[in-house]
Amino acid sequence: MSATRDITIGLAERSVKLIPRMPSTFVPSLIMPIFLVVSFSGAFAGLTQLPGFPADKMIDWVFPMTTLQGCAFAGVTTAMAIARDLDNGFYDRLIGSPAPRISLMLGPLLASVIRGMIPLTILLIVAVIGGANFNGGFPGLGMLVICAMSISFIAGCWGLGLAFRAKTQQIAPLMQMGLFTVFFLSTAQMPIQLLTGWIHQVARFNPITNVLQMARQVSLPAGVTWATTWPGFVSLAGMAAVLGLFAYRGLLKIVD
Amino acid sequence: MTAIVLEHYAALSRRSIMNIVRQPIAIIPSLTFPLLFLALNSSALARAIELPGFPPVDSFLQFMISSTIIQGALFGSIAAGSDMAKDIEGGFFDRLIATPVSRSSILVGRLAGSFVLGFVQAFIFFGVASLFGLNVAGGLLGMVGVALIGATIAAGVGAISVAIALRTGSTEAVQGSFPLIFVFLFLSSAFFPRSLMHGWFKSVATLNPLSHMIEAARHQVIYGWDTSQWLTGISIAGAILVGGVVASSFALRARLAEKV
């Protein structure tokens, strides 16, 4: 058990140390959400005038979404590093070692969560500078932090599942496109009651919609309520279970 | 201009266009990403057209189509720089300049590829959007006008990416410049009307020439053909093309000087 813990921590530490050593692999995933919060808040400011729009300022609506996106990209960039390790043979040496198999997956996932704290912190600072309201107070902030850490973990599972199967860095665009698509097929831009047609139906069944609803309690005037919290928890747990299994089965394919 | 130079122009333009035809996979991202954005935004922001001050459109699709065409042109134009960088990395460029080929045809060939791709892509986007009920008020003339603006900006940004390729000789450097284009597009009125923006973002969008070019193209789609608007759009695209050609000519001269 202690071997699993030690190797998990060791691999996570290695992944985190890669950030200052190879900033080019992490910085773009940080810049993109910052840019999106700035541009969406500015470009779509007029949407708040729509009857039924739940935010007074566009930044209140946008920054929880871009924070989660930043955390998701942090998870995916961790998985991209594993894809590179698989590509250059480093991972084969890990498999050849007596390390507990599960730690080869838990290490990168722990790193995903730790790396996710960076966009979370920076985007919160951007939100404060941008004049966002924090109507949910500390409980709302807690909801955002839970969602952010969970999404980092879930995105890490998604990325690792793909990396273990493809064993090449060329899988990276699919990792990113998958995340991008699932976010924008939710209530990323508009609340569910203002979505019409096919996207309304897709967003209704997209678990990210529930997670965004939970995370947005930090800024929206309604504050934190159980009715908007529990669907988020269920969605996070469901995605973590499904994608965790996806990653684990991928790991089994390469170690067997 | 001699007939032989024209022959060089034609040969290298044909090579550039055939590169695109033979590797359609290379242009899939410049077709699919803008269409994905179009589908998502047209659906997600459908209710935005009810806002007071929003241009009088049938649908958000009608508002977005011009931005999608410009977006596709910008995405696709990076290929000109990437292909030039590949030619440099692979040694084809060195073999090319060892021949008596006209130096300007090296640039013209690349830009012709971008121009044709931008023009054809515009009609693909119009075709797909028409399936979902797009009405172009300017008719065929309006569509050709928008496609010409798209093709010209594609050649212009293509020229800038060729300049980067000639300066660096690196495919990665060319592709690394792609986010910059994305930034310019997002800081414009590509996705929402300026009349509904406010504060510093509106000022930035107003200063951004892409806003005025996209609005000129959009005018042909929403209100019908307007020559003065079209001239505004094509002038901005043309100015970017001239700037790009100057930059790439200097870059080509510098690279050739290194080889002497």
What is the DSSP annotation of B74-135?
HHHHHHHHHHHHHHHHHTHHHHHHTTT--HHHHHHHHHHHHHHHHHHHHHHHHHHHHHTT--
Best CA proximity match to B125, nearest among B217, B5, B3, B247: B217
Residue A181 in contact with partner chain B when CB distance is under 8 A: yes
The single residue listed with the structure tokens 């000087």 is B257
> How far does A49 lie from chain B, in Å, by closest CA?
7
Q: How many CB atoms lie within 10 A of CB A137?
A: 12
Q: pTM value?
A: 0.82
What angle is formed at CA A37 by the lines to CA B203 and CA B183, rounded to 5 degrees? 60
Residue A230 in contact with partner chain B when CB distance is under 8 A: no
- Position B9 scores a pLDDT of 76
Chain B residues with CB-CB distance to A181 below 8 A: 36
Best CA proximity match to B186, nearest among A38, A58, A173: A38
H or E element in which residue A144 lies: helix A137-166
In degrees and rounded to multiples of 5, residue B163 shows phi and psi of: -60, -45
Q: Is the dihedral of CA A65, A70, A72, A73 positive or negative?
A: positive
Could you read off the pLDDT of B15-57 as tens digits, one per residue? 777 777 776 666 677 788 889 889 988 989 999 999 998 999 9
Residue A46 in contact with partner chain B when CB distance is under 8 A: yes
CB of B155 closer than 8 Å to CB of B77: yes
Chain A residues with CB-CB distance to B202 below 8 A: 42
> How far does B62 lie from chain A, in Å, by closest CA?
17
Is B199 close to A28, i.e. CB distance below 8 A? no
Residue A190 in contact with partner chain B when CB distance is under 8 A: yes
Is B45 close to A41, i.e. CB distance below 8 A? no
Is A43 close to B201, i.e. CB distance below 8 A? yes
Which segments of chain B have a pLDDT < 50? none
Using CB atoms, pick whichever of A43, A50, A198 lies closest to residue B51.
Answer: A50
* Count of residues making up chain A: 256
- Rg, C-alpha atoms of chain A: 18
Strand blocks (E) in A23-154 = none
Is A197 close to B48, i.e. CB distance below 8 A? no
Find the distance separating the first CA and the last CA of chain B, reported in whole Å: 25
Chain B residues with CB-CB distance to A49 below 8 A: 51-52, 196
| C-alpha span between B31 and B72 (Å, rounded) | 6
A94: tokens are 């890990």
Residue B187 in contact with partner chain A when CB distance is under 8 A: yes
Residues 6+ apart with CB under 8 A from A221: A54, A55, A56, A133, A135
Is B199 close to A42, i.e. CB distance below 8 A? yes
- Position B174 scores a pLDDT of 78
| C-alpha span between A235 and A238 (Å, rounded) | 5
Which segments of chain A have a pLDDT < 50? none
Residues 6+ apart with CB under 8 A from A62: A36, A37, A40, A41, A44
Is B201 close to A41, i.e. CB distance below 8 A? yes
Cβ contacts below 8 Å, chain A against chain B, sum to: 76
Instruction: Kindly identify which residue of chain A lies nearest to residue B36, measuring between CA atoms.
Output: A181
> How far does A199 lie from chain B, in Å, by closest CA?
6
| C-alpha span between A12 and B4 (Å, rounded) | 63
